[in-house]
Amino acid sequence: MKRFLVAANLAFLLAAGASRAAGAPDVDDDNATVQVVPAQHALLVTGVIGNRFESDIRAALDRNPDTQRLIVNGPGGMRAQALRVAELANRRGLAVRVSGRCASACALMWAAANTREMTFDSGLGLHRSALDPSLALPDVVRQKLMAHNDRQTDDVLRRAGFPERVIAVGASTPSSAMSWFSPYELKTGGVPFQLLDTTGHAASLDARSGRLVRGAVADASRSTQ
């Protein structure tokens, strides 16, 4: 029995670093692209959070020390890599901005960041965790690890100020599906972040309609009426 528990705990620890979002492309073959956006003092990070994610981001930051933010979008990937990049951003005082769709581990990374930004036309996707089916784990270990990951996700979202309703919806969404949340839903739910228009200017939303009422895009729209 003791030997089984030792083996199970070892498998748990090994799998923790390899857990990824269900339905995400193979993180062994895919990894997000990292591009420098000098005009915004930013790194544009697009795609799957793979096993080179942290090292690629760290290398890009070392080459571009004036970087002020990470602009992210993607379907998710390896949650341990995502959380390590959030920690890296926090240590360096970087904002993490969602521009487009950011789901699963990507959403977890955004929530774990101290300074969060989001463009008004973006979406944040949440669901229960899953493990790569190719991982040869006893079922009891697999279930234990997924439960641990789900608790960790809830804790990260709660610390970030997500309302219990949103946390509950994400926790009840199967790993094979996704629940999407708009900036309007997150703002009215009390999640603290800087809302931006698509040009990167500060913006605000109408509390009733959810429409953009302040920002460069909204100002340009009114000036043509």
Q: Give the pLDDT band of residue 2 (cuts 50, 70, 90).
A: very low
Task: Give the whole-number percent of the chain exceeding pLDDT 90.
Answer: 68
Q: Is the pLDDT of residue 22 over 80?
A: no
Q: Which two tokens stand for residue 130?
A: 């899953």
| Whether the predicted pLDDT of 191 surpasses 90 | yes
- The per-residue pLDDT of the chain, averaged, comes to 86
4: pLDDT strictly greater than 50: no
CA distance 120 to 215: 10
Confidence of residue 99 (pLDDT cuts 50, 70, 90): very high
User: 2-223 belongs to which CATH class?
Assistant: alpha beta
Residue 21 has pLDDT above 90, yes or no: no
Mean pLDDT, residues 6-30: 47
Please state the pTM of the whole predicted model.
Answer: 0.83
The CA–CA distances, whole Å, from 32 to 93, 108, 113, 129, 200 equal 22, 16, 18, 20, 22
Single out the residue of 105, 110, 15 nearest to residue 71, CA to CA.
Answer: 110
pLDDT category, 28, cuts 50, 70, 90? low
pLDDT at 114 over 70: yes
Structure confidence by residue, pLDDT tens digits, 138-190: 889 988 999 999 999 999 999 999 999 999 999 999 999 999 999 999 999 99
Predicted confidence at residue 216, as pLDDT, reads 54
Percent of the chain with pLDDT over 70: 81
CA distance 176 to 217: 35
Handedness of CA 67, 72, 78, 84 (dihedral sign): positive
Residue 135 is predicted with a pLDDT of 79
> With 50 as the cut, is the pLDDT of residue 25 above it?
no
Tell me whether residue 135 is exposed, middle or buried, using C-beta atoms within 10 angstroms of its C-beta: 0 to 12, 13 to 18, 19 or more.
middle
Higher-confidence residue of 96 and 214: namely: 96
pLDDT at 27 over 90: no
